[in-house]
Structure 1
Amino acid sequence: MKKIEAIVFDFDGTLAELTIDFDEMKKRLKALGSAFLDPLPEKDAPALEWVDFIADCLAEDDPELGKEFHTRCRFLIISMEVEAARNGRLFPFTFDILSALRDSGIKTGIITRNTASAVRELVPEINNLSGCFLSREDVQNVKPHPEHLFKALEVIGVAPENSLMVGDHTMDIETGKRAGAMTAGVATGRMSLEGLKQADPDFVAADCAELMQLLENKGLVTNNL
């Protein structure tokens, strides 16, 4: 493997405690959807993609109704994200890792499907933590679409093959693979180590602190982390 020049991190579940109840979010979204379209078509997808799918279904007959549904769902999602952020916190190792990487010359970025307002509710200084912070509002296509990672790497000026994508979900690993980056899974979110291994990342670790030690032992990052 090449020496790592940049590490891009997911946020919730990777650098901060995952406090969003996605099951409750989907439950509320489906209740709202039933008021617009009954019965709802079956679609197994994350919340953002599910909302887009139902909005598109509605828009086939009534474009304005599709827009209204999409807007109301986005307000519901954002309100839950911001509320969750008020009860969240960064992991104890987050500041130290990002600071040590910066001091060692390794560039960093943070990308998230979360809304920027929720992240800033938890970390007002989020833009100062790394070389790049991109929420879902900053890209046309959020992860696992590689555009999310490509844009972050463009901002910090590192090629995908010299970068590492780190996250707590197989979606993050998929994002990195689709972009041509190295990948790492950390079991600090919703998925276990065994669950993360199913996506075949280059590295797996209990958390980001353990991951940094693993990378250091392999000589992929400098030994002052």
Structure 2
Amino acid sequence: MNTEATARPSGRIGAVLFDLDGTLVLTHIDFAAMRSAVQKVIATAGVPAEVVEGLDTLTMAARAAEVVRARDGEDAARALIADAEEAMVEAEMLGLEGAGAAPFATEVLETLRARGVGVAIVTRNCRRATEAVLARTGLACPIVLTRDDVARYKPDPAHLLAALKRLGATPETAVMVGDHLMDIQAGRAAGTRTIGVLTPGRPDDYFAPENPDLVVTDLRSLLSFVLGGL
């Protein structure tokens, strides 16, 4: 595992893509409750549980919709997606109670922008919850792409590539920063460098399966990695 003391970028970094929840902001979203609510929607639609077994919550809803579409038609599939989305948005909005910016998030964003580094947020959260938590925390980012803004979201690299296009940047000069293995997977698939943010409660070797370019416990530690290539 690369640490903040040893890792160095190979070449200039001109853009940084940030995950939101757990990386730039700290919320209290009950993901287990969200998943349970979506599973209930899927069961009500008559989709067998084994069809979506092992999938993440967003993918679970999409897969169930495919089954319903083939069986009952487009209108029924859209109704399932709408019900699942309503359940997810409700959980996300409830999780904003007591939400705040992650330590040093404001400082890091401001420093990067002041140094001419493009920044964007790439999140699987919905647009409504994302805008609400950014307003609550006062975090400013010129480009924010939520799951509502793209056809394919993380870990699909298309989500990251859409943000890079908006920034006018290329994967070779960009880095993806996130607290989840999915963020590292998405960054690697998109061709960016990757930084894992190790949050409290996770084991030190959490990111070992994906081996990001750098693992930090403090957002400020990524500045030397990013700005060292300028």
TM-score, scaled relative to structure 1? 0.89
| 3-state SS of 1:86 partner | coil
1:21 corresponds in structure 2 to: 30
Deviation string, structure 1 residues 82-124 (Cα, Å, up to 9, x no partner):
1112331111311111001111111111110001110111122
Query: Structure 1 CA distance, aligned partners of 2:224 and 2:45?
Result: 51
Query: Structure 1 CA distance, aligned partners of 2:202 and 2:190?
Result: 22
1:17–1:189 contact (8 Å) kept in structure 2 = no
2:17–2:174 contact (8 Å) kept in structure 1 = yes
1:101 corresponds in structure 2 to: 112
Alignment size in residue pairs: 219
Bigger relative contact order (CA 8 A; separation at least 6): 2
1:193–1:205 contact (8 Å) kept in structure 2 = no
How far off its partner does 1:78 sit?
0.7
1:173 corresponds in structure 2 to: 184
Matched, 1:114 2:120: no
How far off its partner does 1:38 sit?
5.8
| 3-state SS of 2:206 partner | helix
1:81–1:118 contact (8 Å) kept in structure 2 = yes
Query: Structure 2 CA distance, aligned partners of 1:33 and 1:130?
Result: 35
The verdict on how the C-alpha distance between 1:153 and 1:192 changes in structure 2, with shifts beyond 3 A counting, is: farther
User: 134-143 or 21-30, which moves further after superposition?
Assistant: 21-30
Alignment of 1:210-225 (within 5 A): 210-215=221-226, 219-220=228-229
Identity of aligned residues (%): 29
Query: Structure 1 CA distance, aligned partners of 2:207 and 2:157?
Result: 19
1:127–1:133 contact (8 Å) kept in structure 2 = no
How far off its partner does 1:212 sit?
2.4
Query: Structure 1 CA distance, aligned partners of 2:195 and 2:71?
Result: 43
1:209 corresponds in structure 2 to: 220
Query: Structure 1 CA distance, aligned partners of 2:106 and 2:201?
Result: 22
Matched, 1:59 2:65: no
How far off its partner does 1:199 sit?
0.6
2:211 corresponds in structure 1 to: 200
> Which sections of structure 1, spanning at least 5 residues, go unmatched?
none
Matched, 1:153 2:164: yes
User: 54-63 or 166-175, which moves further after superposition?
Assistant: 54-63
Alignment of 1:105-144 (within 5 A): 105-124=116-135, 129-144=140-155
**Residue 57 of structure 2, aligned match among 40, 44, 47:** 47
Deviation string, structure 1 residues 129-152 (Cα, Å, up to 9, x no partner):
223111111111101111111111
> Which sections of structure 2, spanning at least 5 residues, go unmatched?
1-9
How far off its partner does 1:197 sit?
2.3
Provide runs of 4+ in structure 1 moved above 4 Å. Answer: 125-128, 213-216
Counterpart of 1:123, as a letter, is L
Counterpart of 2:31, as a letter, is F
| 3-state SS of 1:129 partner | coil
Query: Structure 1 CA distance, aligned partners of 2:200 and 2:70?
Result: 37
Query: Structure 2 CA distance, aligned partners of 1:136 and 1:195?
Result: 25
